[in-house]
Structure 1
Amino acid sequence: MNITAGSKGWLIRRLGLRREEVGRTALMFLYLLFVLLAYYILKPVSRALFLTRFDASQLPFLYLAMAASGGILAYHYVRIAVRWSLGAAVNAATVMIVLSLLAIWQLLRLDQAWLYYVFNIWVSLFSLVLVSQGWLVASHVFDARAAKRVYSLLAAGAVLGAALGGSFTALVVRAVGTANLVPVSALFVLLAYGCYRLLLQQPGVSLGEVRAAEERPVEFTVGGVARDVGQNRHLQVIIALLMATYVVDTLVEYQFSSMARASYRGDGLTAFLGGFYGLYLNLATFVLQVFLTSLVVSRFGVGGTLLVMPVGIGAAMGAMTVAPGIWAAGAARLIEASTRYSFNRTGMELLYMPLPADLRDRTKAFVDIFVDRVARGVGALLILGLAAAGAPGVVAVSVLTLLACGVWGVLAVYARRQYVATVRQRLEARRLDLESMRIPYQDAGLVRRLEELAGQGEGRQAIYALRLLEEVPGYPLETLAVRLDGSAAPAVRAWLYEAALRQGWRSLLKEARRELDLPPGPALVPAAVYYASMGGDGASAVRGMLDHPDPRVVEAALRAGEAVPAEMEVRMPLERVAALAGQAEPEKRRLAALAYRAHPDAAVAALPELAMDGQAMVRRAAAESLRSLGSRAVPALAACLDERGAHLARRRRAARLLGSIATQEAVDALLARLDEPDLEVLAAILRALEKQRGGAPGLDYAHEPVRRQVSRGARMYLEIRVSLGYLRGGERGPATRLLIRTLETRLLRVIRGVFSLLGLRYPPQDMEAVWRAVERGTPAEMANAAEFLDNILDHDLKRYILPLLDEDRPPEQVGLELFGLELRGAQEALGVMIREGDPWLAVCAMAAAAESGFRGLAPVIESAARGAGVRAREVARAALEQLGAGRSESAG
């Protein structure tokens, strides 16, 4: 048992799964495996039965029937599916498919010609319905994060199912007969459905409200797409390429089926087609997609990728023309089908990328419904045309296919040029999504256009072009920079000096020195930093700028001084820095905040005060300098955070500044203050820790302070819930309603803080997702959140968190069990708030106590008023008067 459990745990870790995902993943894997297994039994069976019943001359009519009916049926299936829930659609589809298979099995005994057409059309819709439903189920069973972990495994299940289906057909058909494989496929459909039903029993799986198709499928009209095609040359190329692809697909499939029929009969034909489609084709597609497609795309770009398929098919057709036979036809079909789902699909996706998103979506929908079917119909008509012309043989079709491949190749070359042209046009408009596509830098025309934009475009456009050119392997950017520097816009010159410093060029030093004498602009700081770092007299030139009357020039000198060795003494004297810090002008205080970086010992004491300055420009400069000090700034900022009598904004800013320092000392300082009683300051501390966890996850976010604060937060949460229950149950005057709103706000803040704390121990994105579910508060989501936390939290945290999410247990019971918390009624709850709450909560509770007539709280109010602020004393006096307790001296 231990070995088995250990092996299971190793396998789960190896697959990258979480324990709660194992059952769902296994069942979804099996569902797709059985569906594809059934499909790759039916595909060779349906085609083999057709070719056994008819000769190859009937294939074009089958293609026409499939083209005409397939698009219509697919279109109406989507429209109907939108109105159904996914669960109902899966149930109905399974019943209809199984009954249809059994009916077809019985009808095959009648040997009616029409049935073989219907069977092949029906099989073409099988994968559309069941496979698409399977992936739709998966998209709602797994969220986006889980999908990244499990989808590759599910895809492997689909590939394995296809291979097993074809291999099973090839091995079994001679024993049971081709027709008898139809009910066998129905058995695998039922096995898939069984996996689906078990999947619904898994924790967290609910498909009741999910639609069986997108709520709003992408809409298009033939007239609208025709108008788009007429106006867009790039779109014309895409449609032409797709037409060529599907026409050639039809021609190659016809040749392959014809040669297969000539070479095999009956069950032998079924076995051959099963092995070919199920095993060899899927294996070839897998190898090409995984090992070669990315290499070809990165080396040859869009044009080269799109040429692979027509060139490969053309070569096979050449062999077919010279020596027609099943192996040449099989090679052509293997090349055609495998490259269509690897190279060609990838190339077409790249070709779509420069199009605007809405046009791209409309075009894809139009292609799926219309272009695919029309092109296959055209292919069928071409075959019939050859037959009518007296050239029906496979050699004639091979010649026609060769010609079609030639046209296709020309279109692929032209597509590359059009792709570059479209990229260029959208580049000029800066409307190109560069992250999602590969720019064909090997195109000299595009590089020349980038050079033109760099030299003639306005600032942002020129920088955009320069950044692209910097990525071109081997491009002589320094030569272009020298040519541009003297005449470029200030923002462009700034980028050039930054690039020169990155690349170590010395060729722009003369222009950078001249920049130091020009009126201050965007290029001044980059020029000063570059010249100070690489110029022979850089240090002295920058040192002279420290006395300039313009603060912008002085700031440039200060920033440049950081780039030179400390022994070169490019810094402002400390006495002058201190004097600037006391000046009325914010520009001068900003300079002081920057200049203190060169005097770290003095900066530790001075910068925290400048970081609290009333002017944003000063605060930003001080924060930047504090971050540069790192751990040395932590004690002073922690002292600011500890100033309990200071303004809340000052303390919150101290917490934010500590959060911007990614050191262990800063983390420890924040963790040590998790017992902060003020909820607003505590929220700032938690946000600072969240920021540090996101930027520096390798630091130690100690367990014990987090556990202690989680316990404190859980107690506070329960205390507020119990208090709210009592207050909501009585009469509600204005003061009580205000107190209830205050407590409701704090309740959310407290539980949000608890999940922020958990984000320091566990993946922050997971805790954020759980918090969102808790915030929405639906019973199903609360249950899912509790189940998830039950599987990942340590026991010492689980005992505090899970009871908070249990809606069936009263908070009074949970509070008593966990913390011995006993609040017997609204009066006692108000007394706790007056004694222990922060000033605002205490004031609200005093007013609510007076409004409710709780005379027993008069001594508590009188005691709380001693030493309280003016506002609290006023409220206490009014509350005591309302309760008839008179005016106490302490409240006066």
Structure 2
Amino acid sequence: MPAALFSQRLARLINAGPGELLASLAGFGLFFCLFTGYFMLRPIRESMGIQGGVENLQWLFSATFVVMLLAVPLFAWLNSKVARIHYIDWVYGFFCVNLLLFAVLFLLLQQNVWLARVFYVWISVYNLFVVSVAWSLMADAFDAPQAKRLFAFIAAGASVGGLTGPALSALLVSLLGQAGLMLLAALLLAAAVALKHYLMAWRAIGGAGRPGAQQAENPRRPVPGNPFSGLTRVLGSSYLLGISAFVVLLATVSTFLYFEQARLVAELFPDRAEQVRVFGAIDFVVQAGALLAQLFITGRVAQRLGVRMLLVVVPALVCLGFVGLALAPTFAVLAALMIVRRIGEYAFVRPGREMLFAPLDAESKYKAKNFIDTVVYRGGDAVSGWVKALLDMLGQGAVLIALVGAVCAALWGALGWYLGSRADRAGKAQELSRVRTS
């Protein structure tokens, strides 16, 4: 098959317009690199969380939140000093150095419980930062109509990475050890930087269908504002406050399920190797399901039914799942609910959530978005972790937690409908503007 014909068919398959295919593949590849590296390390993180004590997980969540509070102003300050086109180079370079340092520490202090706790907190910060910055890049490179068509395929790179990462971890851990996996994750992060350079170059020449993209908010200048402008931007916008509340409810639902999973896995699978296998199996099912949905369902739903449908379907299913968990609080029901929630988050909620930022300005895409994705998300984690501990003290078991989770999921869905409807209106206005200027 001639290369040109293959490219045309591939572009049609992923819903890419003229000049968008290579940029879409670069976005897919960037997320593949990030998530392959992260999911190689994720089973280690989960077993280390249990090693540090399930009863101490709320402390680890709180520590992660505190680290976020310290880190976000520093990264926002960097964003105000460094040209936007080079910002990701600095962020990913910093985390590459961190990975190299952990590789050395894992060689020297293999079973140290404090190293386990520090790594657990660090990777929780690392994952949110590198993914948030990557989605800021996508919202910068693609406009709202392009986001509706292409973000599902780009997000599929994360799912392929989520499948590849655990497989590589299982194949290579005996050969390379945990330190070797850290080094490989650092190399993948460096590859993501190279793909980022292509995307920013593509954006600079107009982003295929984006007249004036080169002139609008020049990426060779730093993002305006100060280290706390992400917070002030959020507080000054009802739309961004709504996204923040959406993220808090998402984090609350996820944390309730995560703590119950950790408790049941610790009870049913006391051996650490068994725990890693269970977490790895769940990860595999989640990533496979998310990949199928991203390739064949998400983009079509977004185009035909709008962003609001992406943001309401999963909360509705999770609400029903919590009710089922209240009626039958078993590991099988919990595992099924965890899988549905995580597939739905990767395939529908995350792409839909990122589409909310596509019509906004650079300061909102980078600083406000980074604040929401890190401080707000981990703040929701920390608060819901302590709420979960308080509910456990009431002695009603999983039933009360499931009922509270069902209420949170219902509120989450209602807010998703509202935000998605606003994003759909903004996207239509942007598409009309493009038609008039073309």
Q: Which residue of 1 aligns with 2:390?
A: 385
What is the CA distance between 1:314 and its match in structure 2? Answer: 3.4
Q: Which residue of 1 aligns with 2:209?
A: none
Distance 1:151 1:197 in 2: 20
What is the CA distance between 1:291 and its match in structure 2? Answer: 1.7
Deviations 1:200-247 (A, max 9, x none): 799x8999x966974558964767855766xxxx88766554433321
Distance 2:157 2:291 in 1: 13
**Equivalent residues in 2 for 1:632-647 (5 A)?**
none
**1:169, 1:275 within 8 Å by CA — same for their partners in 2?**
no
Aligned partner of residue 81 in structure 2, secondary structure? coil
**Equivalent residues in 2 for 1:32-47 (5 A)?**
32-47=31-46
Relative distance call for 1:34 and 1:244 in structure 2 (3 A) is closer
Aligned partner of residue 324 in structure 1, secondary structure? coil
Distance 1:433 1:317 in 2: 33
**1:252, 1:333 within 8 Å by CA — same for their partners in 2?**
yes
**1:34, 1:189 within 8 Å by CA — same for their partners in 2?**
no
Distance 1:358 1:147 in 2: 16
Q: Which residue of 2 aligns with 1:267?
A: 273
* One-letter amino acid matched to 2:164: L
What is the CA distance between 1:341 and its match in structure 2? Answer: 4.1
Among 327, 333, 345, the residue aligned to 1:328: 333
Deviations 1:550-582 (A, max 9, x none): xxxxxxxxxxxxxxxxxxxxxxxxxxxxxxxxx
* One-letter amino acid matched to 1:317: F
**Equivalent residues in 2 for 1:368-407 (5 A)?**
368-387=373-392, 389=393, 391=395, 396-407=397-408
Distance 1:137 1:352 in 2: 11
Distance 2:21 2:427 in 1: 37
Q: Which residue of 2 aligns with 1:184?
A: 181
* One-letter amino acid matched to 2:48: L
**1:66, 1:121 within 8 Å by CA — same for their partners in 2?**
yes
What is the CA distance between 1:337 and its match in structure 2? Answer: 2.3
Give the greater-gyration-radius structure (CA).
1
Distance 2:251 2:244 in 1: 11
Are 2:345 and 1:340 equivalent residues in the alignment?
A: yes
Which one is further off, 242-251 or 279-288?
A: 279-288
**2:322, 2:406 within 8 Å by CA — same for their partners in 1?**
no
Relative distance call for 1:326 and 1:293 in structure 2 (3 A) is farther
**1:352, 1:360 within 8 Å by CA — same for their partners in 2?**
yes
Higher percent of residues as helix:
2
For these two proteins, the number of residue pairs brought into alignment is 408
What is the CA distance between 1:69 and its match in structure 2? Answer: 1.6
> How many percent identity over aligned positions?
18
* One-letter amino acid matched to 1:97: N
Q: Which residue of 2 aligns with 1:92?
A: 93
Relative distance call for 1:93 and 1:257 in structure 2 (3 A) is same
Considering Cα pairs closer than 8 Å and 6+ residues apart, tell me whether 1 or 2 has the greater RCO.
2
Q: Which residue of 2 aligns with 1:58?
A: 56
* One-letter amino acid matched to 1:273: F
Distance 1:97 1:347 in 2: 31
Distance 1:400 1:349 in 2: 29
Deviations 1:525-568 (A, max 9, x none): xxxxxxxxxxxxxxxxxxxxxxxxxxxxxxxxxxxxxxxxxxxx
- How well do the aligned residues superpose, as a CA RMSD in angstroms? 5.4
**2:38, 2:185 within 8 Å by CA — same for their partners in 1?**
no
Among 404, 428, 435, the residue aligned to 2:428: 435
**2:99, 2:183 within 8 Å by CA — same for their partners in 1?**
yes
**Equivalent residues in 2 for 1:786-801 (5 A)?**
none
Among 45, 49, 71, the residue aligned to 1:73: 71
What is the CA distance between 1:41 and its match in structure 2? Answer: 0.9
Deviations 1:69-89 (A, max 9, x none): 224323422322443465652
What is the CA distance between 1:61 and its match in structure 2? Answer: 1.3
Q: Which runs of 5+ in 2 are unaligned?
A: 205-217
**1:82, 1:211 within 8 Å by CA — same for their partners in 2?**
no
Relative distance call for 1:308 and 1:12 in structure 2 (3 A) is closer
Relative distance call for 1:245 and 1:298 in structure 2 (3 A) is same
What is the CA distance between 1:96 and its match in structure 2? Answer: 0.6
Deviations 1:763-787 (A, max 9, x none): xx9xxxxxxxxxxxxxxxxxxxxxx
Distance 1:158 1:43 in 2: 14
Relative distance call for 1:297 and 1:248 in structure 2 (3 A) is farther
Distance 1:198 1:224 in 2: 29
Are 2:10 and 1:15 equivalent residues in the alignment?
A: yes
Q: Which residue of 2 aligns with 1:165?
A: 165
Among 276, 291, 298, the residue aligned to 2:297: 291
**2:54, 2:263 within 8 Å by CA — same for their partners in 1?**
yes
Distance 1:137 1:245 in 2: 23
Relative distance call for 1:299 and 1:280 in structure 2 (3 A) is same
Distance 2:338 2:318 in 1: 8
What is the CA distance between 1:25 and its match in structure 2? Answer: 8.2
Aligned partner of residue 270 in structure 1, secondary structure? helix
Relative distance call for 1:357 and 1:213 in structure 2 (3 A) is closer
**Equivalent residues in 2 for 1:677-716 (5 A)?**
none
**1:320, 1:329 within 8 Å by CA — same for their partners in 2?**
yes
